Homo-oligomer: A and B are copies of this chain.
């Protein structure tokens, strides 16, 4: 029997509920801000208040992977930051490839927020020969033909797809064959990946749609609340 009934505090044996992941990132961002504001400790109540969720939710999320709190006191920001980074996998750095150096890809190459959270843009790729061979924001641009060779040589494990929708699936397939571990797809199209590769889709037009949907939904709520009286 290689395993006890209770999980060890800091290396969970079971997958965490899906919804927890995103909140962990929000906790981390908030904790980093609190710490840089000079706050040494905080509480589930405070954290929940800042993020608009309940204190019980915060504590529950954190207990999935250990016991970091001090009853009567709260949590030490630095300890909790370290713990969450371990869970998210950002306690070490990751190399990232950018595929597509058009409008959006170029902007993302210049975004400093990635490096701050342990992601290093290690290479960019495009089919436009006029872009190849020259760095953009200190990231070298390679021809897409060298994708497999370059990704393997530099040991890149993650990629962002910022190519036109029509090319996204083919690029994704080529990335998979390099042995990549995860992909963020910015192209406005659903792509299919095999089981073993993580996929996050970010569609900017869809985010805007969620805004108008929420605005209309608010009207629908109001209507049903005041209706029938």
Contacts and interface: CB of A to CB of B under 8 A. Distances in A.
Interface of A: 1-3, 12-16, 21-22, 24-26, 28-30, 33, 50-51, 87-90, 94, 96, 103-104, 106-108, 110-111, 113-114, 116-117, 119, 158, 181-184, 188-190, 196, 198, 200, 202-218, 220-221, 223-224, 227-228
A29 B188 contact: yes
A1 to B, nearest CB: 7
A28 B190 CA distance: 11
A115 to B, nearest CB: 9
A16 B217 contact: yes
Given A114-B208, A205-B119, A209-B117, A224 B15 contact: yes
B15 A88 contact: no
Given A15-B221, A227-B3, A106 B108 contact: no
Contacts of A198: 211, 214-215, 218
B204 A210 contact: no
Contact of A183 (B14, B211, B217): B211
30 contacts: A12-B220, A13-B224, A16-B217, A21-B210, A21-B213, A22-B206, A22-B210, A25-B209, A29-B189, A29-B206, A87-B213, A89-B212, A90-B209, A94-B212, A104-B107, A106-B107, A108-B204, A111-B204, A113-B204, A114-B208, A117-B205, A158-B208, A158-B211, A181-B211, A183-B211, A184-B207, A184-B208, A198-B215, A200-B214, A202-B202
